[in-house]
Amino acid sequence: MKKIRIGGHLFAQPKKLLRLEADVNYTHIYYKDGRYVYVATTLGKLESRLKEHGFYRVDRGTVVNVDSIKSYRKVGSCLKAKLSNDLEVNVSKRRVKAFLELSSALAS
């Protein structure tokens, strides 16, 4: 499996990543196995490297591995996606339509 640069001298296999969260010019990277790293790379740069590997930006500060989404549900006017570690992340209102299209494409 191809590895991508996630920061400095760190490389990772995209399929092992769960989600990424922005922190100004840094990013918190969470692995499926529970590990976590903090890198000096912006979320935007990482998103562009991971987009072709099945990652989707659900809101301004969060990118998730689409393979890690177990389910999603509507709560009021919001959409929440449940990840494989049972964490729920909000999908921003302007990204809901594309998220639902992506989800239905993956289901077929």
Q: Of 99, 70, 84, whose CA–CA distance to 18 is shortest?
A: 84
Tell me, what's the pLDDT at 104?
Answer: 77
The pTM of the full predicted model, rounded to 2 decimals, is 0.92
CATH number for the 4-107 domain, one of 2.40.50.1020, 1.10.3470.10, 3.30.70.20, 3.90.550.10? 2.40.50.1020
Q: According to the model, what pLDDT value does residue 76 have? A: 84
**What was the pLDDT predicted at 21?**
98
Please tell me the predicted confidence (pLDDT) of residue 91: 96
- Reported for 89-93, long-range contacts at CB under 8 A and 24+ positions apart, including other chains, are 89/19, 89/58, 89/59, 89/62, 89/64, 90/58, 90/59, 91/58, 91/59, 92/58, 92/59, 92/60
pLDDT means per 10 residues, the chain with 108 residues, are 90 97 97 97 97 95 95 90 96 93 77
